[in-house]
Amino acid sequence: MFRKILSVTLVLVLVFVLFSGCASGQKTTETQEEQPEQEEQSTQEELAQEEAEEEGTKEELNPEAQLKIWFSLIPEENEELQSIANEFTEETGVKIEVLDNNFFEVRQKYVVVAASADAPDLVLAQAADLGVLVEADTLRPIEFVDEEFADRFASVAIDAFRYKGELYGVGYSADAYGIIYNKELIEEPPKTWSEFFKMAEELTVRDSSGSITQYGFFTNPTNYWFIYPLIERHGGYYFGRNSDGSFNPDDIGVANEGSIKAFEELLELKEKGLTTQTPEEDESIVSQRFAEGKVAMIIYSLWYAQTYKDNNIDYGYVPLPNNDDGTPSKPLGSVLGIVANKNSKYPKEADAFFKYMMKDENLQRLYEAANGGEAKNGQRNTLNKSVYNSEYV
């Protein structure tokens, strides 16, 4: 089961510090009096330049172009992007279709269709899949990102999408995961992993034949992403670190004492029936059983929250339990971002819409739509500084 650990870029989502500053100095009265007029003139020049650039872009784009973007599984988020796309169409004539997209499946499905007529021009993908997609010759570098553009985002939004010195995308959301639990089965979620596994055993129900009818916990033990906290809590790890904090690919920790203990623990869970049983069963089985009300707790994020709601599952979402020594668990984080298909018939138009959807005001609309408006359900974590500093956040 554990014979293969994929070597991937493990992007750790860090809390980023947003800097702001102002400079002031003594000015003469004459300079102070002239300042408003100078600022107004400067503002008018900037607006004129922006309008000229936008007008130039409209003239250069092919109004017959038709683009596709594989985006999200959150209906409200896709609907909002389609609204933004329709506004872009009104301005440029370029038509855009926003399609559902499970980013967990991009590395398999996108590579297969990238050069076909059904291929998307833009894709929401994980930074962890970047190397696979580039080596498959399906992505092209992004060349419109300058210092001014990059400064509007947390550094990880740019750094996470660099591969061998080239920039292939821009980060859209930083995602980690926690515990999703069924409130009908659990009143107070566990605080430590010991409490977690004790509760999981108590909530597991079997019929007279021994078959499980209710799972206290259910997971896919072959998914290196979600089981990492279970490995880390015993002192295991995937890759060690260098003195500068970067990962050391020569220091592989999957065979150390802590990792072995974690794998033995996962094997015990498998024997108890609390994990998927075959390689063919994947994360969709885990989420499906939770949506059916058969599972009390899963290690996951809110990507399928709408499905749970549609199935009338009263769910809660909390951080991972602490380790038994009181230290916090360390889930792996991922950066989701937009990447561009190398085989697109309309790369110029794709870039134009890429920049358009990444405007601060459009990212604000997408962020609020994805997080359920006033519900603020935490399905997306913005990497855009303007959104991060907004009243909504």
pLDDT in the model for residue 301: 86
β-pair type (66-70, 122-126): parallel
CA-based nearest residue to 181, from 303, 297, 306? 297
Q: For 187, list phi and psi in degrees, rounded to 5.
A: -85, -45
pLDDT in the model for residue 59: 57
CA-based nearest residue to 174, from 351, 384, 386, 391? 384
pLDDT in the model for residue 393: 84
pLDDT in the model for residue 30: 40
Q: Which residues of the chain have pLDDT under 70?
A: 1-59, 245-246
Query: Side chain identity at 169, as an amino acid letter?
Result: G
What is the residue-wise DSSP string for 364-380? Answer: HHHHHHHTTGGG---S-
pTM to 2 decimal places = 0.65
Tokens representing residue 310 in the block: 């549609």
Give the separation between CA 202 and CA 204, rounded to whole angstroms: 6
Give the separation between CA 272 and CA 21, rounded to whole angstroms: 57
For the 178-318 domain, the top CATH level (class) is: alpha beta
Say if domain 62-175+335-388 classifies as CATH 3.40.190.10: yes
CATH 3.40.190.10 residue window(s) in the chain: 62-175+335-388, 178-318
383-387 CB contacts, 8 Å cutoff, 24+ apart: 383/16, 383/153, 383/154, 383/156, 383/157, 383/171, 383/172, 383/173, 383/174, 383/335, 384/152, 384/153, 384/157, 384/358, 384/360, 385/18, 385/151, 385/152, 385/153, 385/154, 386/152, 386/360, 387/360, 387/363
